[in-house]
Chains A and B, each alone.
Chain A
């Protein structure tokens, strides 16, 4: 079955600390991977995406993610978080030979300690 797992429901980090949010997927075709962020009262915003090529992708707001095919993972990282990064983060997967029906993880809520 196709699925996306974000194992951490909540993560709390101190401001200035590094961050890694985990995403694992199960997908039969070549995966196309996305990270979106949902801030309170705002719509989902694309942080970054991976389609092909370099497995380390850079996104907005200083985020990056690394695609590891052997581990079926696409973890999101940031070297130093800011209080404004507090939000919910969603990983999603789609496929070129499928369609636009992205499969989404349940999300990880990021809490920033001052």
Chain B
């Protein structure tokens, strides 16, 4: 597609429900990132994929968070047994190049985000 697409744009979940957030990156982009953005804050890194390999998941806040990118394109971020503190905007970004050992000098292209509200 022309840009990074995320769905759903808005999700309201009851505490304890599982949610799945989808990211469709720009076609051909090798790198895919998930960020969490709380209200009034900047994005915080969650996890990084290079193609289908999840190279870094150090930012995932708990084992309730799980991300996958099985075919190296679309990615899903799953949150199990949601808690109120999970309420945030979840941002997906992709970039053309790989981000092996250094800063990806390519531009990050962000989706519009999925706003999760946990009641």
Contact yes or no, B103 A104, CB < 8 A: no
Could you tell me the distance between the alpha carbons of A46 and B93 in the complex, rounded to whole angstroms? 12
Could you tell me the distance between the alpha carbons of A42 and B42 in the complex, rounded to whole angstroms? 15
Could you tell me the distance between the alpha carbons of A102 and B59 in the complex, rounded to whole angstroms? 12
Kindly count the residue-residue contacts between A and B in the assembled complex, taking CB atoms under 8 Å apart: 71
With A44-B110, A94-B103, A95-B103 in contact, do A106 and B91 touch (Cβ < 8 Å)?
no
Contact yes or no, A99 B103, CB < 8 A: yes
- Interface extent on A, as a size class? 20 to 34
Mask, B91-105, CB within 8 Å of A = 1, is 101000001011111
Q: CB-CB < 8 A to A101: which residues of B?
A: 45, 48, 56, 58-59
With A101-B56, A104-B43, A106-B42 in contact, do A43 and B33 touch (Cβ < 8 Å)?
no
Contact yes or no, A43 B45, CB < 8 A: no
Q: CB-CB < 8 A to A32: which residues of B?
A: 103, 105
Q: CB-CB < 8 A to A51: which residues of B?
A: 105
Q: How far is the CB of B17 from chain A (nearest CB, A)?
A: 26
Of B42, B91, B102, B107, which is within 8 A of A99 by CB?
Answer: B102
Contact yes or no, B44 A104, CB < 8 A: yes
A interface residue numbers (CB < 8 A to B): 4, 9, 32, 36, 41-46, 49, 51, 90, 92, 94-102, 104-107
B interface residue numbers (CB < 8 A to A): 3-4, 31, 33, 40-45, 48, 56, 58-59, 91, 93, 99, 101-105, 107-113
Q: Give the top 6 A-B pairs by smallest Cβ distance, nearest first.
A: A104-B42, A43-B110, A100-B99, A44-B110, A94-B103, A96-B102
